[in-house]
Structure 1
Amino acid sequence: MTIQTKPIEAYSLPTPNGQKVHVMLEELGVPWTYHRIDIGKGDQFKPEFLAISPNNKIPAIVDPEGPGGEPISIFESGAILKYLALKFGKFYPADRREQVKVDEWLFWQVGGFGPMLGQNNHFNVYAPEKIPYAMKRYSDETHRLFRVLNTQLEGRDYIAGDYSISDIASIGWAQSWERYGVTRDEFPNALAWIERLNARPAVARGLAWGKDVPAKSLAEDKEAHKVLFNQR
């Protein structure tokens, strides 16, 4: 069993992608320190953050007790989840076939469920010009992905067998189901799964982490939009 003596440094925000790492660290019960990266003010472009996250996105972590006892920095939420799962031997199966299942659904989330729901949110909430085609395109894709999730959860408590990083990856996005027009009648398995995960104390703590800091709504913060959108 791996013992963590120095806190893992998490550079993040309480966004769906940041929440993945918060939940994972809370589930592991290891010491960790939260560094708030205010993306609306451009913290993600500071040299010290780019040194650990060259894609200027949160979350990122620094583990002072990385492989060989040397520090390691990791960006991309899926990579962080897998690194932590392998290091501490939790929430990732030992069986190779079961690993494939977890990887499939982890990559399903990072490649589709998150990005498509993110585009839905952008065109329906943030975009200064309401483009009906884009709004319908991403709303339809959101519902298709919730249907995929709902079908996968038929007769299952968790996405890929036992509770794993595939569940942790998806809950931050799925918990906001109401804003996407998803209904309980339409996707009962997915909604039951969301409630099942929210009942886990570590998930509840992870989802709430960082929300105690008041922040102006990004939907209304036009100055933040200049930082976040339409940059090359």
Structure 2
Amino acid sequence: MNVFDAVKQSVTTRQAAEIYGVKVRRNNMASCPFHNDRIPSMKVDKRFHCFGCGADGDVIDFVSRLYGISSLEAAQKIASDFGISYDSKPVKAKPKKVVHKKSDAQIYAEAEQRCFRVLSDYYHLLRKWEMDYAPNMEDETWHPLFVEALQKKSHLEYLLDILVFGEIEEKALLVMEYGKEVTLLEQRISKFTCREAETSIGSSQ
């Protein structure tokens, strides 16, 4: 049996907490040692959970956090302090996940794709507004979304042409210049989409 299993089967978090100086009351509540806890907010039994700061785990997690040591060191400390025997063969550490950092080229490619997607969605929205809000009478007051469609549609066509047919330098400059505007447009498009979905659901009921 390795040190982790041996410790977890032999010692509760409450037993460890008490031997390491944490006072546990009869109702299994204690002042949390992991934050400034004036009123006891940590429940300590086989495991521990603090309702104040959210700290949670088993006896090894508790000791590891209490002393700022690794899980293996915490398990070994508990085993030594409580006289627990265990198989001393080295414990194989779980392989760490390798986090592959994105290259500058990948980051730019994603930014360009996002820019094209958002501007394309906005362009289709402008075309929809141009049709949906077109005035029926000559003296009718133009809807703000119809006006926006007339003002912005040609410029959007120009930007989309650059992203499709432009040189890499032109594309990169466009993506850089329109970064903030693309974020705002994405939020605005999302609001309109949600609003239309709610209207559609309401009309169908």
Q: TM-score, normalised by structure 1?
A: 0.24
Q: TM-score, normalised by structure 2?
A: 0.26
Q: Greater helix share, 1 or 2?
A: 2
Q: Which has the larger Rg?
A: 2
